[in-house]
Each structure stands twice: as structure tokens, then as C-alpha cells.
Structure 1
Amino acid sequence: MPPRRSYDQYCAAARALDAVGDRWTLLIVRELLAGPRRYTDLHADLPGVSTDVLASRLKDMEQRGLATRRRLPPPSAAYVYELTLRGRELLPVLEALAAWGAPALAERAPTDAVRAHWFALPLLRCLAAAGAGSGAGPGAEGVVEVRLDEGCFHVRLGGAAAADAAADDRTYGDGPAPDGADAALTLDAATCVAVSRGELTIGLGVREGRIEVSGDSVLAKALRES
């Protein structure tokens, strides 16, 4: 492999781009923020990336201390990649990029791939704001399962939930909540985009019949009333 190029600038932004500025790297981080992933799973959820490029980016991320590779305990013999603490610190960076890029979701091209958990990043702040701003205060915390036609994902919100997320390296995850959810949102992709772009609140979506919130927890009530 050719030596990595550097901007050779004594600048924090340049140093950051030296580490994560290559094509595909931040999207690999997006996938690993959902938890440990096998190489084959990463390749499946990064349509368009070649196997050589994916392997090269993962190797770079390991060398830069952003990700590690480990073998799952028996009976599984698979290896998984997961983010280090340094890698997980990129979550707010990805959230900011998702917020900045949300307006570009106005139109979906016929060739656009989509995965349900890709909506987690733009929704994290929206869901957290809905829970905190409803009058329920810091008690509106827990796990929210988001169900779309394309699949589902889950996110953890609030103080105690955030601590749990730190414990298992996740703030959101692909698929149903493994231990059950405190609230579940059912909506379509267009409504999800409208929420992430700030065009629709969750509460208004509920009142208009575009979003269904199920559950009887404090968090479910907070989301309905947001």
C-alpha cells in the first residue's frame, strides 16, 4: 500500500482529516457506532465500497486507534470490528454532518440505497429534544425503537440510558431493541426525513396520524406530547 498522505499542517481540523478524511472512513464509523460488526456485515451495509478499500480503511482505523478487531467467544468463530473510545468520540461529528446534510434528503434518487439505521444519526437529537422538552424533565429517558418499512433500529436516550450506551459501546443499534423498548415509533421514511429536517415535530406527527407512538412509559408519553 502507498504511504498515507498528510496535509502536513499543524491544525486540529487538518489532523482530524488526516485520520478520517478518506472516502468511506466516516461511513464505516457510522456503521460501527451501531455496535460491533463483522466484515461481511460492513460490506453489505456499505453498498458501493470495494472489498480492497474496505479492508484498507479498517486497517487504517486500527492503526490510528479508532477501531479494534476481536474474535467472538465460542461457539462463534467470527471476528468483529468495533470502535475504540477515540472512535466513539466521533458520534457528535457524525450527528453534526447528518444535521447539515438533512436538507439534501429532499429528493431520493432511484439509485439511492437505504438502510433503516441510517436514519438514527439525524433522529438522535430530535428524539432527545422531544423527551427533554416535553415537561417530563430528565426522567424521560430509555430506549426507543423506530420502525420503518425499510426495517427498524433503536436508540438510547437520557442520563441512565447514556451510561448504558457507554457500557456496551452503543448509542443506537440496528434492529429491534434486544431487551425491549420503553417506546416505539412507527413511521415512514418520508416522515422520518421531515422530522430530521426540523419540518415536523414528533408530537405534531402523532396528532396528524403520521407517527404512531406505542408504550406507556414516561418516555412514550413525552414523545407523544412533544
Structure 2
Amino acid sequence: MPRRSYDQYCAAARALDAVGDRWTLLIVRELLAGARRYTDLHADLPGVSTDMLATRLKGMERDGIAVRRRLPPPASVYVYELTPRGRELLPVLQALGEWGAPGLAERRPTDAVRAHWLALPLSRQLEALGESGAVEVRVDEGVFHVRLGGEPVYGEGAYPDGEPDVRLTLEAEVCGEVARGAVGLVEAVRGGRVAVVGEGALAKALRDGTS
């Protein structure tokens, strides 16, 4: 497929040349969780065709946003992961999510959902506390974890590298309110709507709203 371009000498147009196609930024969202197999990406991108996913991944490789590599034995499978330039899209996705949050409203019957999709709005609020650490989050749809000051930014399932600094538990209703910006995470914690387990600076910042 030939590369399309706006052919405009403008930084925004150049950025959209690389990531403006349908699905590209959502693939970035998934790869912020770390290296992923093609089959895992396809499973967590409901609605994308196999041909479209393959095309977008090739374009991301071409533009230096992602790379494909083979894991060493015993896994020996191919995975995709973001390049440093690709990881620089994190604040772009966070800002885009914040801008789009009011449009969430009520979940539509056709809407797919994955637990780790909450990681982007949650990570932005956690970063604002000014502390580093690992946070494990349990919601109705499942469990995911967020790294503050580390790579990858978040991931599915329980925190894999020992004990997280904080464990959070919140119900679907609160989860939706946080995602669409109707309530802040610290505000929800103070209101008893989010359970916090953990000690240390990050847990204190969540409970007190200060570092």
C-alpha cells in the first residue's frame, strides 16, 4: 500500500501522516503495555481485520514507531514493541483521552471494554501525585498494573515484579466516572469509593492528595 501524506510543511500534518490512520494510535495504546504478539494485539483490538492490523503494523515499522523482533528461546515467538519515538506518544494519547473523556457518557451495548484501557486516564492522575512506584488495579473487568517512572507504562494482569507499592480496587461505576473525568482518583479515594492497600509515599499521596 503506498504511503499517504497530507503533503503539508506542518508538524501536525507530519505527525498525522505517521499516526493519523484509523487504528494506529490504538495499536500504540496496546504496545504501551509492552511487547505483544500479533495474536494478542488482534484479540485486544475488537473490530480490526487481520489485513488492516498487518498493514498498520508495517506502516509503524516503516515510520520508526514500532519494531518486530523474535524473543529468545524457549518462547521463540515474534512480538511487536514500541521504539523510543513510539513511546513518546504516551502524553499524546493521555491528552487525547482527556479531551475525549466527556464523550464516554454511558457505555453503549456495542462497546467493547478491556480492564487495561483504564490505565491511560489513571496513569495521568497518578503521575500528578509526583511519586514513582507500581500500582496494581482491580476493576470489574479484570486486573491491570501501572508503572510510574518505569517501562512499560502499564500491563495486563497482576504486577509481575514482586509486590506493588499500592493496590487499588474500584467498582465499574467509579471506574467509568474516573475514565470520563467526572471524579478524580484522589477524590474517589477520600470518598471511600476506591480501596487503597499499601504503605509508603505513593499510598500516602493517594490517601491525602499530597506527596
- The two structures have a TM-score, normalised by structure 2, of 0.94
Query: For the residues of structure 2 that align with 1:4 and 1:207, how far apart are their CA atoms?
Result: 50
Q: 1:30-88 CA deviation, whole Å, 9 max, x = no partner?
A: 00011000000000000000000000000111111111001111011210000001111
Residue type matched to 1:125 in 2?
Answer: R
Quote the offset at 1:119 in angstroms.
Answer: 0.7
Flag as ranges the 4+ runs of structure 1 deviating above 4 A.
Answer: none
Distance 1:93 1:189 in 2: 26
Q: After TM superposition, give the deviation of residue 14 of structure 1 in Å.
A: 0.6
Could you tell me how far apart the structure 2 residues matched to 1:223 and 1:196 are? 17
Structure 1 unaligned segments of length 5 or more: list them: 133-139
CA separation in 2, counterparts of 1:54 and 1:205?
37
Aligned length: 208
Asked whether the 8 Å contact 2:122–2:185 carries over to 1, the reply is no
Which structure features the higher share of helix residues?
1
Does residue 172 of the first structure (1) align with residue 171 of the second (2)? no
SS at match of 1:65: coil
1:174 corresponds to which letter in structure 2? E
C-alpha distance in 1, partners of 2:180/2:50? 33
SS of the aligned residue for 2:134 comes to strand
Using the TM superposition, name which of 45-54 and 103-112 deviates more.
103-112
**Which residue number in structure 1 is paired with residue 102 of structure 2?**
103
Tell me the residue number matched to 1:141. Answer: 132
Residue 207 of structure 1: how far off its partner (Å):
3.6
- Displacement of 1:108: 0.4
Aligned-residue RMSD, C-alpha: 1.3
Q: Which moved more, 1:45-54 or 1:196-205?
A: 196-205
**Deviation of the 1:141 alpha carbon:** 2.2
- Taking structure 1 as the reference length, what is the TM-score of the superposition? 0.88
1:106 aligned counterpart, secondary structure: coil
Q: Distance between the aligned counterparts of 1:172 and 1:111, measured in 2?
A: 26
2:181 match: 198
Deviation at 1:171, TM superposition (A): 1.5
Residue number in structure 2 paired with 1:137 = none
Report 1:78-157 matches (<5 A).
Answer: 78-129=77-128, 131-132=129-130, 140-157=131-148
Over residues 160-208 of structure 1, what are the superposed CA-to-partner deviations in whole Å (9 max), with x where a residue is unaligned?
xx1x32xxxx112222111121001100232123224433233332343
Give structure 2 stretches of 5+ with no counterpart.
none
Query: What one-letter code is carried by the residue in structure 2 that aligns with 1:176?
Result: A
- Distance in 1 between residues matched to 2:49 and 2:199, nearest whole Å: 45
Correspondence for 1:47? 46
State the alpha-carbon separation in 2 of the partners of residues 43 and 203 from structure 1.
34
CA positional deviation for 1:155:
1.2
